[in-house]
Amino acid sequence: MSIAMMLREGTADKHQETEKVPYIRAIFRGGLDTQTYTYQLESLLAVYTVMEELYRQNKDNPILSKLYFPALFRENSLKEDIATFQKKFGTKLRGSISKATQNYIDHIQNIAKTKPELLVAQAYVRYLGDLSGGQSIKKVVAKTFELEGNEGTAFYEFPEIEDLMAFKGIYRQNLDTLPLNDTQKAELLAEANATFDLNKFLFIELDSDLKENIGMDRYQTLLPAG
């Protein structure tokens, strides 16, 4: 089985678990408020800043080098979106790193110290998610907050990549060329699943913020019937 297929099939259950977090469902039901979404952007900025800096530091690693694509980096686009929401809607930042975000960052930093090649799993989960489901979220966010053009949705834009679908194919092809033995493949899959958990816990934390910011009555209307 190819590495790309191993990761896709081997993370399917964790992927579904993450998608079932009420916060994700609230996004697609148009239930987000601008403040909670700003918190989401803030947390993601902290995660991507660390992940991308570590990727730069290890870009000559024989494994990481095959998947080093600066065109994917999201740090600047997240800063742009945060600035937009602060200016347009008057939202505020937490002012400190949340618990789930800190746990996520700590994990990435520990991985980079011990087995930097496993940053591949971190990048795989985040970037392919941004290129895939993230494109659907972009449309919902724009509609929910009545944003025009690319205003406030720079995070989901990849101006240096002409064809997202074709690029995902190239990314998966490069994954399949990674010089990994069976033990390393198993570690990569385990790390990808761990990354889905880190994202899930981040969204669970944001779910608590959403309840507080929109109130329980409104929040209840966003939950699936039954």
Is 8 among the annotated ligand-binding positions? yes
Count of other CB atoms within 10 angstroms of residue 93: 13
User: Does residue 138 contact residue 144 with C-beta atoms inside 8 Å?
Assistant: no
Rg (C-alpha) for the chain, rounded Å, is: 18
Q: What is the dihedral of CA 169, 173, 175, 177, to 10 degrees?
A: -170
Is 25 among the annotated ligand-binding positions? no
Is 29 among the annotated ligand-binding positions? no
Count of other CB atoms within 10 angstroms of residue 195: 26
Is 94 among the annotated ligand-binding positions? no
How far is 196 from 154, CA to CA, in rounded Å? 23
How far is 38 from 88, CA to CA, in rounded Å? 12
| Known binding positions for heme b | 8, 15, 124, 172
